[in-house]
Amino acid sequence: MKYNFFKIFATFVCVTSANFIEDWDQKAPHRWKRSAKIQPGTLPNKVAPVSYNIKIRPIFYAEKGLQEFTAPGQVSIVVQCVEITKKIILHKHPTLEIEQSTIKITGTSNHTIIDLVSVDYDETTNFILLLLSTNLVPGEQYELFMGFTTTITSNNREDLFWGEYQSPGGNKRRFIMTDLEPFGARKVFPCFDEPRYKTPFRISIARKISGNYTTLSNGELEREGITDPELPKGWVWDQFKKTLPMSTYLVAIIVADFSFKEAPRHIFSKPVRVYAPTYLVKGRNLDFASQTTAKLMRFYEQLLGHSYDMPKLDSIAIPNGLENGAMENWGLVTFSDEYLVYFPGQTLEEDRQEMVSFMAHELSHQWLGNLVTCKWWSEIWLNEGFATYFAAIGVQSLFFEFENGREFLWESVQKAMAYDVNTSEPLVGEDLLNMASDTIVYDKGGALLRMIEGFLGRETLLHGMTTYINQFAYQSVTQEDFFQILTTQALKEGKLPLNFSVSDIMRIWTIQPGYPLIRVSKYSKSSVKIAQEICGNYQTNLKHTLLQYATSGNWVVPISLVTQNNPNFSDHAPKIWLTADRISTTYSHDTTTWIMLNPDAMGYYRVLYDEELTQQILNQLKSNRKIISGLSRSQLIDDYFSLAKLGYIPITQALEMTTFLKGEDDFVVWYSTFTALEKIRNLFGNEDISNFKTYMTPLIESALDTVSWDPKKNEKGTSVIFRAKLLKWACGLDSFECIYKTRELFLKWTSNTNRNPIPLDHRPAIYCSLVAHGGTAAFEHIWKLYTKSSKTSPEKLILMNALACTRTSENLTRVLESSLDPKCDLSQSIPDLYTSLAKNPFARPLLFLFIRNKYNQLKNHTKGVKTFAETVSALSTYFTKESEKREVEELLIEKRADLLEESIQNITISSLNNINENIIWMTQFYEEINTWFKSRAF
């Protein structure tokens, strides 16, 4: 669809909910799936699949008589008639060619051929309708045979696609694979492409004998190298055993010249292999992934109370990555290579945590999604929300040094709430045609499971989960199935309030967008009032509260609480339930002492206390913050800054919540603080940031003094990552202590260049500080290391990001010019490089001028305008001036003819929205915040 490009600049759309999650400065470990739009139409349930037999021959090199990047094949589907009908309707994407002359329908009991009257296609629904000459008989089975040819694309999502990697010797090698969730299977072979249909698959893949290729699929290899006179010369079939019943989106087909590393057999009962290019296997870079996979499989088998019934578990590291990061295909899980390939002594702890988090998520899917599957995509949270929650449990249990269980509050719950406050997307929509976004499906889904844990207890939840998995194994389900299981378990264990089911409590949380704000106010000397309302923009709520309540209803809210006289933050059992019939209540409490709701933030709601109660809590934090749990301290920061953005309280009241931070040593508290202050740091960096620096730098330095600036012996996990984040902020704010330590380390390094004295996980912060403050010698030192480092080394990206920290126009110009030089490695990493440069206030003006003046060269070098648009987007995060907005508008108008593709327009519109919102935000908050920092500066 094409738009009038000038309209982009005439109207700014409202701030999207994505703006509310911009502050998470990390790769989110589970942003690896698409937010797909469901294509209209679900299949009539008159004929259902019983089994598939698929044969496919991917051609991904040019060869005489064979068309490159095509895959001819055939499928035999055994179907069962459910209701009398003359029609068989299944899915076929428009890009899939069906050889109509090959279509054949045969009764399996009597081998009678049923004549085909006509074949119709509906591109809107992707339906292929086969009209038969006679009725199918209910209960009888029939075999449907079809020949087809599909295209092998270069689009690595929802398709059969090809990729390429370069070996250390410089040879380029191709591979092909599938990634089919949610609607990709119908592009590869005709099928009943809905998750509710679960059948066994028998798959055969043809390959060339030459080239040392391996074929992989969901099932075990049964026979390999099978000759067939119908195949071209030099081709053979590899045949795989029949799988367990599974949905079409889980089908996996791979042809690659990879080798594998197998985990020791004593760890897990089934073979566990990790595949990757051979040089990585020889370098032992897969040892960590193979053993971690086996340990996680054993853990989930025990935790969830059901064996892993597939005969093997393969994972494969895809060179150059997958757009979605990973895919949980049953028995053959695909990952971007960065999540499986580990470099001992080079991989940062933050990256190791991300690796195990990705693995845990995908491997938990082998039960949660593969064994038990959502009946329809509108309830995909039964797959993804469950995997998000149980991934954290898996990592916490096996890699306790990472504290994923506590980090879940910041990483998933708070992120979901930031997005969910301004979206119209429910977790489960009554409109079956659309799925919610990733943040809602993954993070809100996981957060709601955590809330269930809060009011039922983890033990009850796990007991219910075991029953759910065993009762519905190899079936598809709805959330009501899950809620009914939990209700039965909770009643058995006495964990539900009278006359409530889990569905009564949870259904409104899934079908209604948003979440409640719980207000707590002094009611009398001996009681407080507790009331719920919809959390959203305060001024909007003032106008529309009654209408919203009338149209959307209220939540059933479990209210747990602690008091100054009973500060047991580990007690998450609800003391009060707010409902549609009881939106407020009073609670007996001595109001001369503090009270806090939602200990450890188990509930998915925000809490706002009146000024007197807020001050009592703040007084406790300043006198002895440890009385209040770290998770609750984290949530206070997140609640108050979020509510200030929404207009409920002055921004200065939120800032007061930072006054207890001196010496704070809990990583979750600081992660939430960094999220809350990220926007202030970004935008003040474009103006006067001195007062912010003066206030924040001593607080961060005090945290580093508490946890220590230097690593401890054999330290690993969250404590290492936390220190690295503190260093990143301290050095980014030009902490004198950071600059001093950087120079000291550089002197040691230059006196003995054979030994790098900078701790591995400190290098991103210290290298950046070194380039920023170390002068020409430091820049040249890092430049030399970058040019000499291996392209596969994790260190190379750290060095590149450091080069982007330079503050001199001469060095910045050198970096920018080199990015378009094909002989320089920087030219292979332009998107990452330009994003790093955009973070540097000294680089932003030069970067903008560069992409404007070198537009054509950049377009040619990057083969399109996506990098240009993404660079504009990166810059828009920091632009705050009307003059900057005008320059961006003028540039986009000038290049409008190249920017008409919808995906590119979305990026440019979002960029303009970012700048406009930044300008509004600065007008609203800058003076007030700057004055507050100035008055509180140490």
Which one from 181, 349, 350, 362 is the annotated catalytic residue? Answer: 362
Peptide bond preceding 831 in cis form (omega within 30 of 0): no
Tell me the three state secondary structure of residue 12.
Answer: coil
Give CA–CA dist 697/676, Å, rounded.
Answer: 16
What is the torsional sign of CA 167, 168, 171, 172? Answer: positive
Residue-wise DSSP of 844-898: HHHHHHHHHHTHHHHHHHTTSSHHHHHHHHHHHTT--SHHHHHHHHHHHHHTGGG
What are the residue ranges of helices labelled H in 714-774? 718-732, 736-751, 763-773
Crossing angle, helix 479-493 and helix 458-471, to 10 degrees? 130
Pairing of strands 253-256, 172-179: antiparallel
The single-letter DSSP state of residue 105 is: E
Packing angle of the helix pair 479-493, 502-511 (nearest 10 deg): 150
Task: Assess contact for 148 and 97: CB atoms under 8 A.
Answer: yes
Of 743, 745, 752, nearest to 774 by C-alpha is 743
Q: Read off the DSSP letter of residue 405.
A: H
Longest dimension (CA), the chain: 91
Residue where the block lists tokens 């209700």: 487
Q: Is 463 annotated as a binding residue?
A: no
| Cα separation, 351 vs 438, whole angstroms | 22
544 is in an annotated binding site: no
Has 384 been labeled as part of a binding site? yes
- Structure tokens that stand for 753 in this block: 């260049």
- Phi/psi of residue 55, nearest 5 degrees: -125, 130
Six token digits for residue 18: 């994505």
Q: Burial code of 637-648, b = ≥16 C-beta within 10 A, e = fewer?
A: bbbbbbbbbbbb
Spatial neighbors of 114 by CB under 8 A, at least 6 apart, are: 105, 106, 107, 132, 133, 134, 136, 142
Helix/strand/coil percentages in the chain, nearest 5: 45, 20, 35
**Tokens at 546, concatenated:** 């009654």
Query: Checking DSSP bridges between strand 475-477 and strand 372-374, what pairing results, if any?
Result: parallel
Distances (CA, A) of 576 to 62, 426, 771: 69, 25, 56
Q: What is the Cα–Cα distance from 341 to 573, expressed in whole angstroms?
A: 42
Task: Work out the number of other CB atoms within 10 angstroms of the CB of residue 264.
Answer: 10
From CA 401, how far away is CA 356, in angstroms rounded? 12
Tell me if 120 sits within 8 A of 129, measured CB to CB. yes
* Residue 362 among the catalytic residues: yes
Q: Which residues of 82-121 are buried (b: 16+ CB within 10 A; e: fewer)?
A: eeebeebbbbbbeebebeeeebebbeeeeeeebeeeeeee
Residue 901 makes CB contacts below 8 A (sequence gap 6+) with none
CB-based contact 652:928 (threshold 8 Å) = yes
Q: What is the 3-state secondary structure (H, E, C) of 631-644?
A: HHHHHHHHHHHHHH
CB 58 within 8 A of CB 224: no
Which positions make up the binding site for Zn(2+)? 361, 365, 384
Which positions make up the binding site? 361, 365, 384
- Catalytic annotation, residues: 362
